[in-house]
C-alpha cells in the first residue's frame, strides 16, 4: 500500500489545507500525519508561552479531527530543526513513506530546514511543498521590472488586480477514510501559559464561526471602529491565522460572500487591505531574507545611537510609564497575549521615539508575549513604527501618546479597564492624570511620566538626523 505523510507545522486545520488535501487525493493511499515539537528552536524564537499553549491545544483538536477521518497524527519532540530533519527522515523509513507533503514556511531557518530534509530523503520519497499560508505565492506580485514592491500601495493595487483575475481556490477537508484512535498522552517540554478561552476559543470550527460572524456586519463597520480599543471592532482572528487554524483563503472567500464588493473598494475593503498587509510583509521576507535576521530595511537607520536603559525598558514592558494609553495597552498584552492594532503602533512609537530604545528590543518582547506572534507581521510592524522598514512611517513622524489616548479612547473606557488605579480620575482628565491629581492635591498609585514627550521628540529627531549624515 502507498503511504503518504503530512508534516503539519503552522497549518493546524483539516479544511483548506493544501498539503493534507494533496496527500488524500489517492483514496487507496494510507495517510498519516506528524507534528514535531522543537523546544530549543521555540526558545531561540522567543515563542510566547500563551502561543505555545494555543498550539498545544490546537494540535490536540487537529489530532481528534484527523482520527475521525481515519488519519493518525503522530506527535514527537526533538530539540531543534536539525534534529527534526533526522527524525522525519527516520520516520519515513520506519513507516515506509512513499511521499511527504508539507506547506511552506518562509522564514530563513525554516526554509533551510526544508531544503536539508529534501536533500536527506532517499530518492524513493517524493516531496511536495505548497504555498498554503498565503493568498498569492511570494514572487508572484512584482513590479514591471520583476522586482518586489517596496511600497505597500502599488503592491496592494497589483495584488487586487491579480485577485480580480481569479481567486485562489479553497479545498475541502478530506473525506473519511475510516477511523483510528488518537493518543492524547503527550507533553510539550516548553513553557506554557493559560489563555482566555472566551477571547480565543479553541477549535477549527470555533475559528470558522468567528470568521463568519465578523464578515457579516463587523467587516463593513471595520473602517469606523477598528481604531478604538474600547470597542470590539476588530476580528481577533490573528492567532488562528498565525498558527494556521484558519487560512487566508477562507478569510477572503468568506469576506467576499458577505461583502461581495470588497475587491472594488466598497464594504469590506479595509479589512481586505489588512490581509494584503500580511501578504506584503511575508513577500518582503522572502525577497529580503535579512529581515529574518533583525536587520533594518533602511541601512542608515542601523547607525541610530539607541539608549541602553534597562529601567526604562522594564517600565515600558510592565505598563508603568506614566502615559495611560501606553500602560493600558501593555497590560492588555501581558495579561491576554494580544493587543489592539492601533495600540501596537502607539506603544511601539513610544518605545522607539520617546524612550529611544532599539526597536529590536520591542520586537523581541512582543514575540515573547503575543498569542498571535508572527515573525513577518511583527517585524514589519516594528520596522514601520521605527521608520527603519520599507514604506515605513517617516522618522520625523512621532506619535504623541497623550493625544493618541485622547483621540482613540476619549472617555478613558479602555484605560480604566486596564488601569484600575486611575478609576477616580474623572472623564477626559484620565489622559493626564497627574495634572488632575496635583490640582486636587490627590496622590495616585500610578507613576509620573518617565520622560517628557516634547524633549524626547527633540532627542529622537537629533539621533535620527545624526545617523543620516
Domain chopping of the chain, boundaries: 3-130, 134-169+204-287, 299-468
Is 272 annotated as belonging to a binding site? no
Catalytic residues: 274, 277, 306, 341, 359, 382
299-468 fold: DNA Cyclobutane Dipyrimidine Photolyase, subunit A; domain 3 (1.10.579)
- Whether 349 has a binding-site annotation, put simply, is no
Distance CA 422, CA 424 (A): 5
* Maximum separation of any 2 CA atoms in the chain, in Å: 82
Read off φ and ψ for residue 238, nearest 5 degrees: -60, -40
- CA-nearest of 111, 114, 134, 390 to 282 is 134
DSSP states of 399-434 as a string? --HHHHHHHHSTT-HHHHHH-GGGTTS-GGGGGSHH
Q: Quick one: DSSP state of residue 358?
A: -
HEC assignment per residue over 172-233: CCCCCCCCCCCCCCCCCCCCCCCCCCCCCCCCHHHHHHHHHHHHCHHHHHHHHHCCCCCCCC
CATH code: domain 134-169+204-287 is: 1.25.40.80
pLDDT per residue, tens digit, the chain (469 aa), is 899 999 999 999 999 999 999 999 999 999 999 999 999 999 999 999 999 999 999 999 999 999 999 999 999 999 999 999 999 999 999 999 999 999 999 999 999 999 999 999 978 899 999 999 999 999 999 999 999 999 999 999 999 999 999 999 999 999 999 889 887 777 788 999 999 999 999 999 999 999 999 999 999 999 999 999 999 999 999 999 999 999 999 999 999 999 999 999 999 999 999 999 999 999 999 999 999 988 999 999 999 999 999 999 999 999 999 999 999 999 999 999 999 999 999 999 999 999 999 999 999 999 999 999 999 999 999 999 999 998 878 899 999 999 999 999 999 999 999 999 999 999 999 999 999 999 999 999 999 999 999 999 999 999 999 999 8
* CB 254, CB 215: distance < 8 Å: yes
275 is in an annotated binding site: yes
Does the annotation list 372 as a binding residue? yes
Per the annotation, does 331 bind a ligand? no
Q: Is 206 annotated as a binding residue?
A: no
Sign of CA dihedral 221, 225, 227, 233: negative
CA distance 7 to 118: 13
Phi, psi (deg, nearest 5) at residue 75: -120, 125
The topology under which CATH files domain 3-130 is Rossmann fold (3.40.50)
The reply, when asked if residue 279 is annotated as ligand binding, is yes
Angle between helices 341-349 and 401-408 (to 10 degrees): 160
Query: Considering only CA atoms, which of 151, 263, 246 is closest in space to residue 207?
Result: 246
Q: What is the grid cell recorded at 421?
A: 488605579
SS3 state of residue 30: strand
Amino acid at each position: 500500500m502507498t503511504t503518504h505523510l503530512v508534516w503539519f507545522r503552522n497549518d493546524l486545520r483539516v479544511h483548506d489545507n493544501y498539503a493534507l488535501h494533496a496527500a488524500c487525493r489517492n483514496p487507496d493511499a494510507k495517510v498519516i500525519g506528524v507534528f514535531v515539537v522543537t523546544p530549543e528552536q521555540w526558545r531561540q524564537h522567543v515563542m510566547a508561552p500563551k502561543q505555545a499553549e494555543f498550539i498545544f491545544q490546537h494540535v490536540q483538536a487537529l489530532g481528534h479531527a484527523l482520527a475521525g477521518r481515519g488519519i493518525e497524527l503522530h506527535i514527537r519532540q526533538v530539540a531543534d530543526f536539525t534534529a527534526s530533519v533526522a527524525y522525519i527522515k527516520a520516520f519515513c523509513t520506519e513507516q515506509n513513506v512513499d511521499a511527504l507533503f508539507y506547506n511552506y514556511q518562509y522564514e530563513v531557518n525554516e526554509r533551510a530546514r526544508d531544503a536539508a530534509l529534501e536533500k536527506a530523503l532517499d530518492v524513493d520519497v517524493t516531496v511536495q511543498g505548497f504555498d498554503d499560508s498565503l493568498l498569492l505565492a511570494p514572487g508572484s506580485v512584482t513590479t514591471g521590472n520583476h522586482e518586489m514592491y517596496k511600497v505597500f500601495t502599488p503592491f496592494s493595487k497589483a495584488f487586487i488586480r491579480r485577485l480580480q483575475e481569479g481567486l485562489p481556490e479553497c479545498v475541502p477537508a478530506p473525506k473519511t477514510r475510516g477511523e483510528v484512535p488518537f493518543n492524547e498522552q503527550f507533553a510539550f517540554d516548553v513553557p506554557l501559559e493559560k489563555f482566555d478561552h472566551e477571547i480565543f476559543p479553541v477549535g477549527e470550527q470555533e475559528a470558522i464561526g468567528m470568521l463568519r460572524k465578523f464578515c457579516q456586519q463587523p467587516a463593513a463597520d471595520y473602517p469606523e471602529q477598528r481604531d478604538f480599543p474600547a470597542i470590539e471592532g476588530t476580528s481577533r482572528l490573528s492567532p488562528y491565522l498565525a498558527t494556521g487554524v484558519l487560512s487566508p483563503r477562507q478569510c477572503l472567500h468568506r469576506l467576499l460572500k458577505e461583502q461581495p464588493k470588497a475587491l472594488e473598494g466598497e464594504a469590506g475593503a479595509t479589512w481586505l487591505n489588512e490581509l494584503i498587509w500580511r501578504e506584503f510583509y511575508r513577500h518582503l521576507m522572502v525577497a529580503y531574507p535579512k529581515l529574518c535576521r533583525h536587520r533594518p530595511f533602511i541601512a542608515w537607520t542601523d547607525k541610530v545611537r539607541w539608549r541602553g536603559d534597562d529601567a526604562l525598558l522594564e517600565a515600558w514592558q510592565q505598563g508603568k510609564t506614566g502615559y495611560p494609553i501606553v500602560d493600558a495597552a501593555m497590560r492588555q498584552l501581558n495579561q491576554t497575549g494580544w493587543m489592539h492594532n492601533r495600540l501596537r503602533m502607539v506603544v511601539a512609537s513610544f518605545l522607539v521615539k520617546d524612550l529611544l530604545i532599539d526597536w529590536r528590543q520591542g520586537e523581541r518582547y512582543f514575540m515573547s508575549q503575543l498569542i498571535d506572534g508572527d515573525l513577518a507581521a511583527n517585524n514589519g510592524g516594528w520596522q514601520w513604527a521605527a521608520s527603519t522598514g520599507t514604506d515605513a512611517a517617516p522618522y520625523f513622524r512621532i506619535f504623541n501618546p497623550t493625544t493618541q489616548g485622547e483621540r482613540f479612547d476619549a472617555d478613558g473606557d479602555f484605560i480604566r479597564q486596564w488601569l484600575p488605579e486611575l478609576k477616580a480620575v474623572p472623564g477626559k482628565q484620565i489622559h493626564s492624570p497627574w495634572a488632575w491629581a496635583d490640582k486636587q492635591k490627590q496622590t495616585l498609585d500610578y507613576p509620573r511620566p518617565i520622560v517628557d514627550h516634547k524633549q524626547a521628540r527633540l532627542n529622537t529627531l537629533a539621533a535620527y538626523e545624526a545617523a543620516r549624515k
